[in-house]
Amino acid sequence: MSGHSKWATIKRKKGKLDQERGKIFTQHIKEITVAAREGGGDPVNNARLRTAIAAAKGANMPADNIKRAILKGTGQLPGVVYEAITYEGYGPAGVAVLLEVMTDNKNRVVAEIRHILTKYGGNLGANGCVGWMFHKKGVITVDTSAANEDTVMEIAMDAGAEDISTESGSIEITTTPHDLEAVKTALEAKKIPIASAEITMVPENSVKITNENEASSMMKLFEALEDHDDVQKVYSNFDIDAKILEKLAG
């Protein structure tokens, strides 16, 4: 399990989720709007929109909000036009950082992202500098306290999962983006509680951070990027010992 996955687990346990920062609905609205604009408003024929709607429902977003976001995306309702942009760069210790951004002001956001990276010992890079290190995958997380690992493994593998790992109190199931929904449905059919399920970017290798100061800077950078209003997702290939993460998160 990569460092940023460990951090997500710690945040979930401590209740430091985006829902409490008032950001999660905005993220889902932007994703639904862009998905509808690029692929049409019918989720049956638009896999990205279908995934976005499922994620929004998982966050308890009201159906009316979802409907309005779709209509804004298809142009049936007026709304802000968001541009989807990917930024790439480096954090402390040379770790790779990949950002998915949706904004209505490209010039403003690139300056702000550059400032955040520089502030915490990183730098903004050229397109393609780290993107090749990441692969799009489906990732489902199940808390070990909520289900038997062997049972989860059997159900997930039978449904098409690619890999399963356990660390820091969580079972992490990796799938292809196409198979995410099928594996999630199979687990839910067996009453397995799912902590999270999403399409994400998984690094093919990781960079171990053993210096506590660098680890602290990395976590501050990660949180600052996540807190930015236009940042949808933050990915990195850092790996920090779970004990250091717990200490920094505490």
CATH no. for 83-132+206-238: 3.30.70.980
Q: Hey, CA dihedral for 145, 151, 155, 158, is it positive or negative?
A: positive
Instruction: Confirm or reject CATH 3.20.20.70 for domain 133-203, answering yes or no.
Output: no
Categorize the per-residue pLDDT at 80 as very low, low, confident or very high, splitting at 50, 70 and 90.
confident
Average pLDDT on 55-83 reads 89
In this predicted structure, what is the pLDDT of residue 170? 84
pLDDT of residue 211: 84
Residue 20 is predicted with a pLDDT of 55
Element (H, E) at 98: strand 96-103
CATH topology (fold) of 3-74: Arc Repressor Mutant, subunit A (1.10.10)
The answer to whether residue 185 scores a pLDDT higher than 60 is yes
Q: What is the pLDDT averaged over residues 203-224? A: 88
Backbone angles phi, psi at 83, to 5 degrees: -110, 130
**Which residues lie across from 196 on neighbouring strands?**
141
For the cut 80, the answer to whether the pLDDT of residue 17 exceeds it is: no
Q: Tell me the whole-structure pTM to 2 decimals.
A: 0.78
Q: Where are the domains of the chain?
A: 3-74, 83-132+206-238, 133-203
Domains 83-132+206-238 and 133-203 alike in fold? yes
**Over residues 10-18, mean pLDDT:** 53
Q: How many angstroms separate the CA atoms of 180 and 47, rounded?
A: 11
Residues 47, 68 contacting (CB under 8 angstroms): no
Distance from C-alpha of 51 to C-alpha of 35, rounded to nearest angstrom: 9
